[in-house]
Structure 1
Amino acid sequence: MNHYRRLWAVLVCCGMLFVWRTGVARPVLELGPSHRLTLQEVREVALDHRPVTLSEAGMRNVRRGHEIVMDAALGGVPVYGLNVGVGWNKDHPVFHEVNGRKVLSDDLLTLSVRFNEMSLRAHAAGVGKPMSADVVRAGMLIRLNTFLSGAAGVQPEVASMYVDYLNHDITPVIPSLGTVGEADITLASHIGLAMIGEWDVFYQGKRLPAAEVMKQLNIAPLKPVGKDFLSILSTNSLTAGQATLAALDTQAFLDKQVRLFAFMLEGFNGNVAPFSETAVAARPYAAMAQEAGRIRAALVGSDLWRRSADRALQDPLSFRTMAYTLGVVQENLLRLAEDLQVQINASDDNPLVLRQAVIARDAAQSDQLRAYRVTSEQGEGAIYPTANFNFLPVASKVEYLNLSLAKLAESMVQQLIRLENPELTGLPRFLAAKTNHGHAFGAIQKPFVEESIRIKLLAQPASLYGATLAGNIEDTTSMSGLAVRNTEQILDALYHIAAFQLLEGAQALELRDGFAPSASSKALLASYRQRVPFIDQDMPYSGYIEESAKFWRAYR
């Protein structure tokens, strides 16, 4: 119970209960080591275009991280992109002296810039239509936030460029497909390409060359050096941003679905006993208890609390077990939120640049780890190889969520089929109005059944699949991008199924003469009837179904 409450607190702090209003001016969001970025703030910057700024403490960390990278090269420590892998050889000096102090040679820095630019080009290999601007902005914000520990080792100009792009609403064009979940390298590289002026961006509703937009705004193209290119592309921030927005959208759907289930239960004339405090307390699963409480709240004032001779003792399981079904979704969503909170506030860099203040204690105990230390006039630091790019902690939670959403879809479909059965409801077959002597809802089961099957296919775990890449080194994958895209498609299909529940649930309630619905259901019915009428004769349903889905997406 305590763990569930802690998870719930994470969700509330993230703002996932949607206590926000579009169009409201937001204060500037200051990022830095003293601020823990929330999921809701990611949404505000991504969708509401909340401006961002960087704290001085954060920029100090960035500067120090970059100094450590450059000091490592001066000290002969191999730094990929600076003194390793840039065409450097023994005929090119690593440094020269200026006023008695060693500095990296101009030739080496020029080669490093060329190698950085070449590497950004070589890794830009995505496919598919462009990612939504919301996802790209979310990913850029997350990467910017994780720069501020200094662990990425980028020059300060990189962080400043991310701020400029976000605040000027410059969105790099990034293909939507091309990650195996061990850093989004073939996708995020397009961000770097745009920043050096070699790719396209979306700006003011148009796709334009990045160089043209930056020139218009007096933004100098980036000159990436050292570890810059690697830190720009070797990150899971795009997938993390997409997962964050998907989690928030799923929470919004779940909050509404509790009310829609109460609506359906009233149309069915279902038994409230399984959701009672007494029944729930006998098996105190925290998430189930939470959802049962929300169902009870949505049924306040309903005639379901009054004794009815027409009401069954035992309802079909799709109705009776709904607190469990919703509870499992909520629990998986909360666990995903908890792991996303870690992801968006922590470095997933490889290699990892460590400032003196955070050098691991184990370095003092190990020759192997001491080898990664960097010492200079500026102080101590270290550059560690890591596996922090592995996205499995988040990817696995996404897949748990997808599985639980598939079970929710199954229950929603079964509820619809049961609602059409006069032996279970006491209502006319297929919810036909007295004036309707035709099919009524007898033929409309096929679309929502297909959507349910599609959801089950999308819920199959993607992380079980992969390949051996990069010369037998990258031999495991999380396939997180695929899993998150599956979540988005599952949610889209759930809204379609919910559209049928609105259509049939409203019909059932109005066919149930003399029944008093709850305040929640009464308000829902009144609002819905402004968009979709009571069905008194057979007619084409496609338009009403689409209108119902739009209504439910917008309903608050």
Structure 2
Amino acid sequence: MKKLNHLSKLSILTLALLSSSAAYAQALQLNGTQLTTAQVAEFAANKNEKVEIAPEAAQKVSHSFDLVMEAALQGTAVYGLNVGVGWNKDKPVFKEVKGRRTLDEELLALSRRFNTSSLHAHGGGIGEAMPAQAVRAGMLIRLNEMLGGETGTQLSVVEAYRDFLNHDITPVVPEKGSVGEADITLASHIGLAMIGEWFVDYQGKRMPAAEALKLAGLKPIEPVGKDFLSILSTNALTAGQAVLLAEETRHYLEAATAVFALSLEGYNGNVAPFLAETTELRPFPGMVKAATDIRAALDGSYLWQQSDGRALQDPLSYRTMAYALGNAWEAQAALEEALHIHINASDDNPAAVASDKPAEKAADSHNQLHKYQVAGDVHGAIYPTANFDMLPVATRVENLNVALTRLAQNIVMQTIRTENPDFTKLPRFLAGPENEGHAFGAMQKPLVALYAENRQLAMPVSLDTFAMAGNIEDTGNNAPLAVNNLQRILGNMYSLSSIQLLHSAQAVDLRGKVALGKTSAKLLETYRAQVKFVDQDRIYTPDFAAGVQVLHAFTQPATK
């Protein structure tokens, strides 16, 4: 996710500026159920913002950990505590102290060593470090997930997530190595930093984790029981990246709508396909929203006035733009909805579900559920789950990838049409009056190249799985790869819209003094402050880059 820094630079800056007042405001309080994707994006962008744990959530965490300890006392298999640590099966896991069972200290010591060893064994990432805001987003999500009270981890581990975020300690996490069935080989680096190993970025400076903990006045955690599983068995890092990209997609679609409005004005297009009278005849929600946005962007435009030179039917790439934009909006909303569920739920395996009273079927030893239930000083159950499967998010990311690429097709076709005088009645390739050169003639090639790349990136990857772990892990979803593809597609979309913006601004200026829509006029004014009219052939590479920056910084005009 190296390019996420570049991709979201101005959008993240905007979020940071909007939230700068939060530096001294009340901390973001998490309880495990009410975190929003917007809060994740804002928190990730603002290192001054603090997070705190709701008291009732802390109590749930402690209760869940007590359940795991009680399960071990009752002889229930707890991986990392009384299973998988080399403990002799014929040796008791507890001892009597004043008539009460307590876990044997030797067993706990073995469990701590096993936890540390497991963090080592799963530390296998590849590539450059994820951007700090992506890791912060992932850690905030994991903290919130843990506060639901199903992880069975120590409160001190949960508090470590809080403390790392509040002290601006960001573990260095490689960008690759997860297949989407929990980011176990990546999230391990967070756990390693928490025990004082590996490396972190502390207040912007990279250093050994042990040094950062000392500077921040924090102590390393001592994971025990299923603590290491709670750190590893999560897709929070992938979810964090997906949240940031979902928010970025929202911003891009708003900017792309403004560019299209300017393009339609440069083309002298027909607004009929975007009228409420036509869209309500087939009211797909995303399409209706997109058409409404287009009309708003064109408020005050000359396109609302009759023109003898205007075609009755424009090319499909123009006429169907509300459908292309609307399809992307619906895909973005579907991803956001899935992420909202994900970041407020447990993706742990196993899940430690504490209860205030014994389960009704706990006494029935022949019932399958009896195997998972715990009845003692603490009641509940420890269930095996498949909640680490990121498929609901992965497929929605893939859907968004396809939707954006389909939108790219419209943008490419629209831009190429603006160069054709048969459609626009403007000079070929939008050449300026004094330009006897090539104008934009060669600029169709980067458009088509970007579209071809997006088509490749939009291919589904959730099907490309392979059996691992002795054929137990025989399927997957490749959510991290799908998210990485989204990041690349979105970067290309900004570039495509930048090229379209160059053409649209040129076409509008060639038309002379025409009234523009409120939104498109503002966009043109902002753009022309950075990119001048093309009166003679020049190098367009800087113009493309400047256009991307303008689009990242785009904001909707204030409404009355």
TM-score (norm 2): 0.94
Q: For each residue in 1:230-289, what CA deviation from the matched residue of structure 2 results, as whole angstroms up to 9, or x when unmatched?
A: 110010111111110010000000011111111100000000001011111211112111
Offset, 1:513: 2.4
How far did residue 321 of structure 1 move? 0.1
Counterpart in 2 of 1:306?
Answer: 305
The 8 Å contact of residues 290 and 327 in structure 1, kept in 2 or not, is answered as: yes
Retained in 2: the 8 A contact 1:62–1:154? yes
Partner of 1:6: none
Q: Does 1:102 align with 2:101?
A: yes
| In structure 2, distance between residues paired with 1:487 and 1:363 | 47
* Superposed displacement of residue 24, structure 1: 2.5
Q: Which amino acid aligns with 2:200?
A: V
Q: Distance in 1 between matches of 2:335 and 2:41?
A: 16
C-alpha separation in 1, matches of 2:357 and 2:318: 53
Contact 2:16–2:42 at 8 Å: present in 1 too? Answer: no
Q: 1:75 to 1:363 in 2, by over 3 A?
A: closer
Give the distance between the partners of 2:78 and 2:259, measured in 1 at CA: 57
Q: Are positions 1:42 and 2:40 aligned together?
A: yes
Task: Answer whether contact 1:153 1:353 (CA < 8 A) is retained.
Answer: yes
Determine which of 15, 18, 23 is the counterpart of 1:21: 18
Show CA shifts across 1:270-314 (max 9, x none): 000010111112111121111101100111111101111111111
SS of equivalent residue, structure 1 residue 150 = coil
Please tell me the residue identity of whatever aligns with 1:38: T
What pairs with 1:102-501 in structure 2 (closer than 5 Å)?
102-357=101-356, 367-377=367-377, 379-501=378-500
Contact 2:168 2:202 (C-alpha < 8 Å) held by counterparts = yes
Asked if the contact 1:359/1:382 (under 8 Å) is kept, the reply is no
Q: Deviations over 1:163-183 (max 9, x none)?
A: 110000100111000111110
Q: Which moved more, 1:367-376 or 1:341-350?
A: 367-376
CA distance in 2, matches of 1:357, 1:315: 66
Task: Please give the alpha-carbon distance, in whole angstroms, between the structure 1 residues aligned to 2:439 and 2:486.
Answer: 33
**Mean alpha-carbon deviation: is it higher for 469-478 or for 440-449?**
440-449
Provide the secondary structure at the position in 1 that maps to 2:212: helix
Distance 1:260 1:197 in 2: 49
Q: Which residue of 2 aligns with 1:63?
A: 62
SS at match of 1:315: coil
Using a 3 Å threshold, how does the CA distance of structure 1 residues 270 and 368 change in structure 2: closer, same or farther? Answer: same
The two structures have a TM-score, normalised by structure 1, of: 0.94
Q: Could you tell me whether the CA contact under 8 Å between 1:288 and 1:323 is conserved in 2?
A: yes
Q: Which runs of 5+ in 1 are unaligned?
A: 1-16
SS at structure 1 position matched to 2:157: helix
1:225 alignment partner, SS class = coil
**Equivalences, count:** 538
Report the Cα distance in structure 1 between the residues aligned to 2:361 and 2:338, rounded to whole angstroms: 26
Alignment of 1:535-554 (within 5 A): 535-554=534-553
Residue 516 of structure 1: aligned partner: 515
Distance 1:302 1:363, change over 3 A: farther
The one-letter code sitting in structure 2 at the alignment partner of 1:311 is: R
Contact 1:18 1:252 (C-alpha < 8 Å) held by counterparts: no
Contact 2:16 2:46 in 1 (8 A): no
CA contact (8 A) 1:356 1:380 kept: yes
CA distance in 1, matches of 2:228, 2:357: 24
2:355 & 2:329 partners in 1: Cα distance?
Answer: 41
Matched to 1:21, the amino acid is L
Q: Secondary structure at the match of 1:207?
A: strand
Partner amino acid, structure 2, of 1:324: Y
In structure 2, distance between residues paired with 1:554 and 1:317: 30
Distance across 1 between alignment mates of 2:234 and 2:77: 21
Q: Using the alignment, how far apart are the partners of 1:336 and 1:364 within structure 2?
A: 43
- Which moves more between the two structures, 203-212 or 169-178? 203-212
Distance 1:38 1:187 in 2: 24
Q: Is the 2:15–2:42 Cα contact (8 Å) retained in structure 1?
A: no
Which secondary structure state, in structure 1, belongs to the residue aligned with residue 505 of structure 2?
helix
Q: Distance between the aligned counterparts of 1:477 and 1:276, measured in 2?
A: 44
Contact 1:146–1:345 (8 Å) recurs in 2: yes
**What is the CA deviation profile of residues 524-545 of structure 1, one whole-angstrom value per residue up to 9, with x for unaligned ones?**
1111111010010111111111
**Cα distance, 1:60 vs. partner?**
0.5
- Deviation at residue 27 of structure 1 after TM alignment: 2.5
Distance 2:359 2:309 in 1: 69
The DSSP-based 3-state class of the residue aligned with 1:78 is coil
Q: Residue 74 of structure 1 aligns with which residue?
A: 73
> What is the CA–CA distance in structure 2 between the aligned matches of 1:400 and 1:464, rounded to whole Å?
14
**Cα contact 1:181–1:480 (8 A) shared by 2:** yes
Which letter maps to 2:63?
R
Q: Is the 8 A contact 2:15 2:45 kept in 1?
A: no
CA contact (8 A) 1:92 1:107 kept: no
Shift of 1:91: 6.4
Residues 92 and 108, structure 1, Cα contact 8 Å, conserved in 2: no
Instruction: Give ranges in structure 2 of 5+ residues lacking alignment.
Output: 1-13, 556-560
Shift of 1:520: 1.5
Range that drifts further, 69-78 or 506-515: 506-515
Q: Partners in 2 of 1:360 and 1:201 — Cα distance?
A: 44
Identity %: 52
